[in-house]
């Protein structure tokens, strides 16, 4: 049947797509441009974001059985914010290039001193930077290399290519980069497998974390490749499926979006500042809800505290009894769009918040994949 409006609709859709691309590029340009002159300064506190919609009583019953709240506790000043940025003798911070059918990306790989002498296989942590950052900058800001020396693990820092995104953002909002076996998830998974094969790495203890666009990409990578990753860290990110094109990405960032349900359990630790003006803090709560859905009944505990001379925070943990946590949500009060407890030598860090890097490592090392899980899904 003849459709007299077909041409007009197609023309309108093309205009909307172009407008969406322009909008998201303009948004990132404004955010990155305004932060450029303050790259190495401590992030200042902002106004608290508006209250998010509460979970229904039915949702609470589905994911928790009983809740406990403890009194405020004090935390020491984050050690990551004071960590040394020099590479110790015997360690390596080497450049690499990985080529696949899905594209080519450069990376930096940190191998601690223990990597040259350890008789047992070491864990691997994949770190995905945010928009306007590089692998080197992200390593400085998170201080993860210092923790790699302390706990004995390798750190892989993939670099987004400029021709893949003008502001070097991971393309978490594109449909072609959200599923297993396609786009950036397939490229990053293949890069991770290659590092596991080339180095003395324990395939049962592989983790991924990221900031902002890197956090959203890390969550996609972990949930699409549960056979590779044992746990995920999401700092100031968005839920999987929160956006599907450049037009819907700014809406999800500014207003929040619950995204899609996870197919399988994935241990998740979440950090988000409640004064974040770039990615609405509601997104952190949505990530926590989605992370809980695949589990049965878990016990919930909540603790409020303050870093000595720094930020207040609320930490919510879900676990079975006193066992290892399956989800952790940290809300840092007064922090904006920045890595909590990070080193001021890197961009987008807040040295006065709780030590996100150390807390993530502590959470990660309590989880591992089983041999059955690693052999269940096809590459």
Per-residue pLDDT of the chain in tens (379 residues, 90 and over written 9): 444 445 555 655 565 455 555 555 555 555 555 444 344 444 444 433 333 333 333 444 444 445 555 546 666 666 776 776 788 889 999 999 999 999 999 999 999 999 888 889 999 999 999 999 999 999 999 999 999 999 999 999 999 999 999 999 999 999 999 999 999 999 999 999 999 999 989 999 999 999 999 999 999 999 999 999 999 999 999 999 999 999 999 999 999 999 999 989 999 999 999 999 999 999 999 999 999 999 988 999 999 999 999 999 999 999 999 899 999 999 999 999 999 999 999 999 999 999 999 999 999 999 999 998 888 776 6
Task: Give me the half-sphere count of Cα atoms (radius 13 Å) on the Cβ side of residue 93.
Answer: 16
Q: How far apart are CA 198 and CA 213, in angstroms?
A: 28
Q: How far apart are CA 185 and CA 103, in angstroms?
A: 11
Q: How far apart are CA 264 and CA 20, in angstroms?
A: 32
Q: How far apart are CA 9 and CA 11, in angstroms?
A: 5
Write down the pTM of the prediction.
Answer: 0.83
Look at residue 75 and give its three-state secondary structure.
Answer: strand
* Residue 182: C-alpha distances to residues 21, 131, 186, 189, 229 (Å): 21, 21, 5, 10, 17
CATH class of 80-296+335-376: alpha beta
């Amino acid at each position: 049947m003849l459709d007299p409006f077909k041409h007009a609709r197609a023309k309108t859709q093309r205009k909307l797509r172009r407008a969406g691309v322009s909008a998201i590029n303009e948004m990132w340009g404004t955010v990155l441009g305004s932060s450029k002159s303050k790259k190495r300064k401590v992030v200042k506190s902002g106004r608290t974001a508006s209250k998010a919609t509460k979970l229904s009583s039915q949702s609470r019953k589905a994911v928790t059985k009983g809740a406990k709240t403890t009194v405020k506790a004090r935390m020491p000043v984050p050690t990551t914010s004071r960590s040394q940025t020099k590479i110790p003798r015997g360690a390596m911070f080497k450049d690499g290039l990985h080529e696949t059918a899905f594209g080519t990306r450069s990376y930096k790989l940190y191998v601690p001193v223990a990597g040259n002498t350890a008789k047992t296989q070491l864990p691997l942590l994949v770190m995905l930077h945010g928009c306007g950052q590089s692998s080197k900058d992200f390593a400085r800001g998170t201080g993860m290399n210092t923790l790699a020396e302390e706990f004995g693990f390798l750190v892989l820092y993939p670099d987004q290519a400029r021709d893949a995104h003008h502001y070097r953002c991971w393309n978490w909002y594109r449909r072609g980069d959200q599923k297993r076996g396609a786009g950036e998830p397939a490229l990053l998974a293949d890069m991770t497998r290659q590092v596991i094969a080339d180095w003395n790495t324990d395939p049962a203890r592989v983790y991924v974390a990221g900031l902002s666009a890197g956090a959203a990409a890390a969550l996609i990578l972990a949930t699409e490749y549960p056979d590779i990753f044992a746990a995920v860290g999401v700092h100031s990110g968005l839920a999987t499926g929160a956006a599907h094109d450049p037009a819907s990405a700014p809406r999800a960032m500014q207003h929040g979006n619950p995204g899609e349900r996870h197919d399988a359990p994935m241990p998740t630790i979440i950090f988000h500042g409640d004064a974040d003006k770039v990615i609405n803090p509601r997104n952190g709560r949505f990530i926590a809800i989605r992370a809980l859905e695949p589990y049965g009944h878990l016990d919930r505990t909540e603790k409020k505290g303050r870093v000595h001379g720094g930020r207040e925070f609320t930490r919510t943990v879900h676990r079975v009894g006193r066992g290892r946590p399956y989800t952790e949500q940290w809300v840092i009060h007064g922090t904006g769009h920045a890595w909590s407890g990070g080193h001021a030598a890197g961009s987008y860090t807040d040295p006065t918040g709780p030590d996100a890097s150390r807390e993530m490592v502590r959470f990660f090392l309590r989880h591992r994949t089983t041999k059955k899980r690693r052999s269940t899904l096809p590459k």
